[in-house]
Structure 1
């Protein structure tokens, strides 16, 4: 039976955790967040599904109604946002190098193999190592902490200095670090790994700047294994009109790296094995509207759906008000 975890706020303002299966969606007794459930499961050595059964289920919940009323939260968060890390890996999907390679060749005005293409080909050659072996490390980037993570229908806020605000439809792995430093994967979520592609296009060494943007997660965390072949659709709404729409694929069958290899190269750093921390790691995509010449604007709504998930993800684009930051000497 497939288990999905959803965080909501009740009509009276109380935080609640919902467990959804083929038998319906119900409140989980005794915990109010995904983080609390995961910590309880880690402490008892139980799988999440077994921990949900141990906690027991309460009242039925109509998730669609909660979503329409704006009561569905990001499916994972931490009581202290500084202990949640949002990171990602790129050039991980078959076909993902094409748009990046064209972009960088155009910027360099030279028909030579770019660093992006070389890194992609390294992944194709050794991104799925045999069991017990270590594959090549991927491109890796940092996006922010828990303050940069938003849930369904919440705005993706682009800074005033940004030159672009573009979607990236991806799968994200959700992890909690145990008291002994062991990373535990809770499951998977749809992610919009929102980025500034114009900044990156000017110079690929500005990739780090282009990724310091918010990201959003879908309604649910899918517990267990992600299907090997995930099919989805990414679209952009402008008012009542879809101005861009394209299918995307994910899952290991469509990737140049295995999840095991990507997880290894993230969690090999002791920094990322701090007990109690949460990690949201975005695993890349081969599809983005920027590659098709789309220029987004305030009010546009990004929508991502995927066949492995019951609910899609929608987020409007919003630009923050410009403000000057002054450093004060002490």
Structure 2
């Protein structure tokens, strides 16, 4: 089951269930957001899928038209964006350490000392999937931003003037809501483009936080239920309408060095991440990235990420933002 948040041409918010053919949506009755739907499921103590079955109508909305008109929203949002925490982790996939190490070699040369990236990746291989369940070894973790940093499917991904690069990271994102008693609930999964400045990151691993550029994109569809153990998808870049790079990415726990439960434990063990009513988007890490293949992206390039289990692809174009110059602080 897959869900989409969208706006009508008149501006009304709705949630739709993706049709069997994938090209239409069945709007849900009296449902204006997936957050509202999830909170109702918690209150009634039923799976979110059960509420969807109750509320789904037979009406058909042209899904492709909504995408063309940029009326599709990210699959989760909050009226108070500061209550939507966007975070993530890297070096969780068997392909990610190779990509990160290539970045290290491209910047520092073949003879550079072994990177911390490889060290933490090996730690994940050895202890990221504990046989008895979490907790296992800690993953890498970073703070991306709050709800204002999430760009809708089809919208522009801003590239700050100070960035040395702005490139895609095709990932799966876990989407969560914290219940009234402080218990976290997973609503589902979506495709995500975590979008980072890999040139800055490669200069020094301690620049990881700066490299994140804050902006990202999620969607367009929310997968309700279990994530398949193996997810196969494609990450590609189009320039002037032509594909200049394309690579398969492999995700799901089969191709991860950490279990999702282990990642979730280390995120939600902090009480501040369990504030009732808050939302969370957690990026599970990228398996491939164009920068590791020597591709230099820039304004006008379009990123396209797709995987069959998530329905329609996630597309966003890079847009250069004006230089704001030196930001100063005024003493009160």
CA distance in 1, matches of 2:133, 2:12: 46
Question: Could you list the per-position Cα deviations for residues 36-86 of structure 1 after superposition, in whole angstroms to 9, with x for gaps in the alignment?
Answer: 101111111110011123335362222112112221111111000000011
What secondary structure, in the 3-state scheme, does the structure 2 residue paired with 1:253 have? helix
Instruction: Specify the alignment match of 2:162 in structure 1.
Output: 161
Question: Could you list the per-position Cα deviations for residues 283-328 of structure 1 after superposition, in whole angstroms to 9, with x for gaps in the alignment?
Answer: 0112001011111111110011112111001100011111132211
- Equivalences for residues 1-330 of structure 1 within 5 A: 3-22=1-20, 25-57=25-57, 59-105=59-105, 107-109=107-109, 110-324=111-325, 325-330=327-332
What secondary structure, in the 3-state scheme, does the structure 2 residue paired with 1:35 have? helix
Say if 1:105 and 1:112, in contact at 8 Å, map to a contact too: no
CA distance in 2, matches of 1:22, 1:58: 12
Say if 1:29 and 1:58, in contact at 8 Å, map to a contact too: no
Q: Flag as ranges the 4+ runs of structure 1 deviating above 6 A.
A: none
Question: Could you list the per-position Cα deviations for residues 253-311 of structure 1 after superposition, in whole angstroms to 9, with x for gaps in the alignment?
Answer: 11111111111111111111111111010001120010111111111100111121110
Question: Could you list the per-position Cα deviations for residues 186-235 of structure 1 after superposition, in whole angstroms to 9, with x for gaps in the alignment?
Answer: 10100001000000111110001111321101210000011111111111
CA distance in 2, matches of 1:68, 1:104: 39
Say if 1:144 and 1:212, in contact at 8 Å, map to a contact too: no
Shift of 1:105: 4.4
Paired positions, count: 328
What secondary structure, in the 3-state scheme, does the structure 2 residue paired with 1:308 have? helix
Shift of 1:101: 1.9
Q: Which residues of structure 2 form unaligned runs of 5+?
A: none
Question: Could you list the per-position Cα deviations for residues 149-168 of structure 1 after superposition, in whole angstroms to 9, with x for gaps in the alignment?
Answer: 01111011011100000000
Shift of 1:112: 3.1
Q: Which residues of structure 1 form unaligned runs of 5+?
A: none
CA distance in 2, matches of 1:238, 1:132: 44
Say if 2:17 and 2:56, in contact at 8 Å, map to a contact too: no
CA distance in 2, matches of 1:175, 1:144: 15
CA distance in 2, matches of 1:63, 1:147: 25
CA distance in 1, matches of 2:118, 2:98: 8
CA distance in 2, matches of 1:77, 1:132: 31
CA distance in 2, matches of 1:205, 1:104: 13
- Aligned Cα RMSD in Å? 1.5
TM-score normalised by the chain length of structure 2? 0.95
TM-score normalised by the chain length of structure 1? 0.96
Q: Label 1:133 to 1:184 Cα distance change in 2 as closer, same or farther (>3 A).
A: closer
Say if 1:107 and 1:203, in contact at 8 Å, map to a contact too: no
What secondary structure, in the 3-state scheme, does the structure 2 residue paired with 1:65 have? helix
CA distance in 1, matches of 2:108, 2:273: 35
Q: Label 1:260 to 1:133 Cα distance change in 2 as closer, same or farther (>3 A).
A: closer
